[in-house]
Amino acid sequence: MHIAFLLFPGVTQLDLTGPAQFLSRLPEAKVDLVWDNRDPVPTDAGFSILPTATFAEVPRADLLCVPGGLGIAGVIDHAPALDWVRQVGTQAQWVTSVCTGALVLGAAGLLRGYKATTHWAWHDMLPLFGAEPVAARHVIDRNRATGGGVTAGIDFALALMARIAGEPHARAVQLALEYDPAPPFDAGSPAKAGEALVGVYAERANRLAPTRKADLIASARRLGFATD
């Protein structure tokens, strides 16, 4: 199985590296990290990742996965990247995303009429692109599979692996990678975190990217999606 991850400046690295670690354990998997060129790509964690291939070198794949991050606005406005996602996605057996990568799939026209999830703070943006938002860690609707925010990418990868290679294989990979989460705090969702902590998050997000949602709406309009 040829698995192609979109790699882009400003990607949330765990959106990519978490699922990549798991999905690389699919039988006969080949993983590519794809971008415009092979120069190091800066992530949101302060380090860069090297692409393994360019858009021209990967015209198709069995499984497409688009991670998220604050860099998605740049991806949506970068025609070569969005064209590549659209091209590969229209032919792939599986079209997938993690976190706000779902909005890139949506902008490429790949989520119209599909149920999908994304980071909780961005659920209200999914209908911009014709997707039906579902509040869940992962959603599989036909051959579209989407994961929620960041760490949900691991749950997404295991659920997808079970669909592709069977639950026994997915369970064996879970054991091999000792995925047995027991977080020290129970604050991983807005309902559990409470209004005060959600407010802290919102303030930080607005400081880092104050126009992020307005920019996304403008991009949706430019791409011909109804935004009213």
Q: Which residues are catalytic?
A: 99
Name the DSSP class of 57: G
Note whether 68 and 12 are within 8 A (CB): yes
Name the DSSP class of 150: T
Q: How many angstroms separate the CA atoms of 197 and 105, rounded?
A: 29
Pick from 150, 174, 172, 146: nearest CA to 160? 146
Pick from 109, 110, 48, 35: nearest CA to 74? 35
CA atoms within 13 A on the CB side of 90: 8
Encoded amino acid at 157, one letter: A
- Torsions phi, psi of 96, nearest 5? -140, 165
